[in-house]
Amino acid sequence: MDGRSYIAALALICLCLSYHLEITAATEFTVGDSAGWSFNVQNWPNGKSFKAGDVLVFKYGQGAHNVVVVDADGYNSCKPKSGSKSYTSGNDKIALAAGTSYFICSYPGHCDAGMKIKVVAN
């Protein structure tokens, strides 16, 4: 292989690797955008594309709210099952698995006031 062919092949390999890394890189999303994890956030995921490995960041005043991972029943009823994973730092980062994920605030009345999201990651 002459020098020009070697350089062209190397450039093509670098381009392919760069493209692959760009496709597989996780994206970090702040839930609720600038408003953060707050009331009436349930429609925030609409129009967004999520993939497995993306990270949701829940920002809120520590002690004012929490984030609880629930199933569809917990999402619909606003009642987490015993033993559900709960986050309370005010700056919680949760990586998405493939499929549908559900999150609520379990403080009384908060979920019923729209403090819940359903996210589908491909």
pTM score of the predicted model: 0.80
The confidence score (pLDDT) of residue 25 equals 81
- 26-121 folds as Immunoglobulin-like (2.60.40)
Cα separation, 83 vs 88, whole angstroms: 15
Return the domain boundaries, the chain: 26-121
What confidence tens digit (pLDDT) does each residue in 37-70 have?
999 999 999 999 999 999 999 999 999 999 999 9
* pLDDT band, very low/low/confident/very high, at 35 (cuts 50, 70, 90): very high
Q: Which residues, listed in sequence order, are joined to residue 92 by a DSSP beta bridge?
A: 58
Tens digits of residue pLDDT in 72-120:
999 999 999 999 999 999 999 999 999 999 999 999 999 999 999 999 9
